[in-house]
Structure 1
């Protein structure tokens, strides 16, 4: 992977991480389109540059994250992330195996798109309009919904937002709680990817941090990816909130369906 390829992947990550369109699917398809070699470092890179997106949430909502009178938010997020931590550990190897199969991911894009076409009609009477009104029970329920995104192509954002709306959250409240929940979820995934998981490369298993130190260019490439993902995600979050306030989720549903069909066709040729 070179710097140009890292920037392209990071832009895609930043644009799609918080949109209900599956960042994993878009990064996989982008790497295939540009002919980026899918070695162990590239796979680790696509998982770990989520750190940039995590930082963008903390910066954008810093008043809520650093409000000493809002410590309840941390309790709710800690409870909500438990299902993903447990199930993610159990199914890690199976999930990684699917990452190399583009067509099933394209199918999940289409299915998720169909669901998004009807979400606004299913949940029309919200009762929760801010994260302070989210109970621990509701937070845990959203956490289980988030686990649906373990199948690449589903979208963590879409699953957790739909889960939030099913629990009575308004569209904006569900989207923002999804942003907040992304912080502990992706922080755990990134930490595991960098310091615990052994990525197979040239017959030996190396952790993410070991791979970054293995060559002079890997660490700078990774850092550039983090910065680009951070900057792009800041813009994407504001854009997304504006779209769902005005139009709801239907535009994202049509986008997923069209993208899924095109990508399934592309990888079937």
Structure 2
């Protein structure tokens, strides 16, 4: 699909912002739509890093008061120290496993068909988990202990497989390990901060030779679109999970994945 780069940047920025914190896989959507829109060259790799950074900065802005309170109290407040410790523990599995396997996974699995399969499988996993009797024992992040954070961290590491969804893995993992829906969602948002900052810095370092001044206008459009749409999505998602299950997201994943596989099977799109 031959569209102007500015319009492609706007579309992909909005897609990233909306999907980053929903359990539907932002990476998977970027791979599929980037391929569909013809923006899958070397410059697109840096572009994806930029718009992912915008999405995580949007979460930092939404939770700026709590983050500022933690930052100013980390030297003296036990509660702030405990909060930071939980994030560090939850971040470790993805950090260690990411350094070990990220490059290999990216080379082998970052394609639309793998993403579609992971979307479908993840959708059925969500449906299965939603049928279980969920009785949370943890109703606030302050009630979590380090083993809880570690378990959620290992669940997050599953998102290295594109199409799995980082937020989906952490939220559903949180539910399995006894967190309430709102607590699992909020911890997923906070855990995204060190995880995505680390991943962004690592990817940006590896792609440093691909940075070109001529790409800046396109990157700026994508950054702004991702930032604004992520702010909207985070606020809406928190309100949604307070009164709803994740079944709708599961069916969306399954339907979207089946559409991608069907277009490939019948030769409608050369994925």
Same-fold call, TM cutoff 0.5 = yes
Q: CA deviation at 1:102?
A: 1.4
Q: CA deviation at 1:61?
A: 1.2
**Superposed, which structure 2 residues align to 1:1-269 within 5 Å?**
2-36=5-39, 38-67=40-69, 68=73, 69=77, 70-195=80-205, 197=206, 207-208=207-208, 210-212=209-211, 214=212, 216-268=213-265, 269=267
SS of aligned partner of 2:243: helix
SS of aligned partner of 2:135: coil
**Alpha-carbon separation, structure 2, partners of 1:10 and 1:157:** 18
**Alpha-carbon separation, structure 1, partners of 2:249 and 2:83:** 28
- Say if 1:100 and 1:167 are closer, same or farther in 2 by CA, change over 3 A: closer
Q: CA deviation at 1:72?
A: 2.1
Q: Is residue 22–residue 154 contact of structure 1 (8 Å, CA) maintained in 2?
A: yes
**Alpha-carbon separation, structure 1, partners of 2:182 and 2:133:** 13
SS of aligned partner of 1:246: coil
**Alpha-carbon separation, structure 2, partners of 1:253 and 1:31:** 22
Q: CA deviation at 1:224?
A: 2.6
Query: 1:5-33 CA deviation, whole Å, 9 max, x = no partner?
Result: 11111111001000000001111111122
Q: CA deviation at 1:166?
A: 1.6
Q: CA deviation at 1:221?
A: 2.2
Q: Is residue 116–residue 260 contact of structure 2 (8 Å, CA) maintained in 1?
A: yes
**Alpha-carbon separation, structure 1, partners of 2:41 and 2:229:** 25
Query: 1:83-107 CA deviation, whole Å, 9 max, x = no partner?
Result: 1111111112222123542112101
Q: Is residue 126–residue 169 contact of structure 1 (8 Å, CA) maintained in 2?
A: yes
Which segment is superposed worse, 38-47 or 252-261? 38-47
TM-score, normalised to structure 2's length?
A: 0.89
**Alpha-carbon separation, structure 1, partners of 2:260 and 2:192:** 26
Q: Is residue 91–residue 194 contact of structure 2 (8 Å, CA) maintained in 1?
A: yes
Superposition RMSD in Å: 1.6
Equivalent pairs, count? 255
In the alignment, structure 1 segments of 5+ residues that lack a partner are: 198-206
